[in-house]
Amino acid sequence: MSAQGHHHMPQTPSMGSSKSIPIMAAPVSPQGAALRAEAAIEPEAPSTGAPKKTTQIIAIYGKGGIGKSFTLANLSYMMAQLGKKVLLIGCDPKSDTTSLLFGGKACPTIIETSSKKKLAGEAVKIGDVCFKRDGVYAMELGGPEVGRGCGGRGIIHGFETLEKLGFHDWDFDFVLLDFLGDVVCGGFGLPIARDMCQKVIVVASNDLQSLYVANNVCSAVEYFRKLGGNVGVAGMVVNKDDGTGEAAAFAEKAGIPVLAAIPAHEDIRRRSASYDIIGRPGGDWGPLFETLGINVAEAPPMRPRPLSQDELLGLFSGAVVGRDVVLQPANSEDMMGLNSEAKATLEVVYDNA
């Protein structure tokens, strides 16, 4: 991709002359040229060397808004209370993975912090980007402003910074990576594509869209397993479970276990909205998250069986997904209305010279 402020268009002969002149696009502002140049840079993929300590690195995927951050904040908190050393890394451009953990406070992101430090000629330090609460360590990779860059490239840049900070030498029992599952570009698939984690967990609910995302993640895992990858799916967390059973049916067909089902309960909704951690030992919901913590730690990575589109739709009633709809082909009259003109063929016929 060219980063210059203009590009050449096909040349058109001028009237009365055999010569041709280039048609130039309107000049681009210096800021626009700088943005194009930045977008054209292909970053180096981060190193994927193994940590020196036996660390479980787990990537958690799910549809945006399905409750990954809620699940991970409470899961990481409970695991820390059970004596595990846990690092939670938000890999979502919204940078809201740690908001519940820190009572609604925004955590400075790695991308934003590294940009400021670079302008000031300073190096990023651990204390600039990593924060802790009651034994849980957490950080946010962050992402670009809307329309100002690629979120996947931001993820890659964030992991490059983690490498420089000594990621593979850190001493943790568990590293939990919170990834947005709706997006399929390269940066968001790094843990699966480059074996950066040992296993994947999907968070979903009893709705088609979240299960569609979960199925896509399973498809990605299966694709890279065929290419020699080692990442597997450890299971599914059903969040906002209303008891209808579609998510559990999906997990059974995909060959992965349900690690926990978090009910659609008003107390959970209210306390989550108040940035209140409910995954506490001795609390009302403590046993649920303690069981989830144990299952997350012990569940082996498995090779999933992704569902076809028809199999996925088959989990729901026809009234819900519209399976009774018949596809009707459009024709030229539909597209052009009164201006439609029947043509016998689409073959291009050239007049004799």
> What 3 state SS string does the chain have?
CCCCCCCECCCEECCCCCCEECCECCCCCHHHHHHHHHHHCCCCCCCCCCCCCCCEEEEEEECCCCCHHHHHHHHHHHHHHCCCCEEEEEECCCCCCCCCCCCCCCCCEHHHHHHHHHHCCCCCCHHHHCEEECCEEEEECCCCCCCCCCHHHHHHHHHHHHHHCCHHHCCCCEEEEEEECCCCCHHHHHHHHCCCCCEEEEEECCCHHHHHHHHHHHHHHHHHHHCCCCCEEEEEEEEEECCCCHHHHHHHHHCCCEEEEEECCHHHHHHHHCCCCCCCCCCCCHHHHHHHHHHHHHCCCECCCCCCHHHHHCCCCHHHHCCCCCCCCCCHHHHHHHHCCCCCCCCCCCCCC
Is 63 a known active-site residue? yes
Is 116 a known active-site residue? no
37's CB contacts (< 8 A; 6+ apart) are 3
Catalytic residue among 84, 85, 94, 117: 94
- CA distances to 133, 135, 346 from 352, rounded to whole Å, are 81, 83, 19
CA distance 196 to 115: 25
Structure token pair of residue 294: 């144990």
Catalytic residue among 96, 128, 173, 182: 182
Residues belonging to the active site: 63, 68, 94, 182
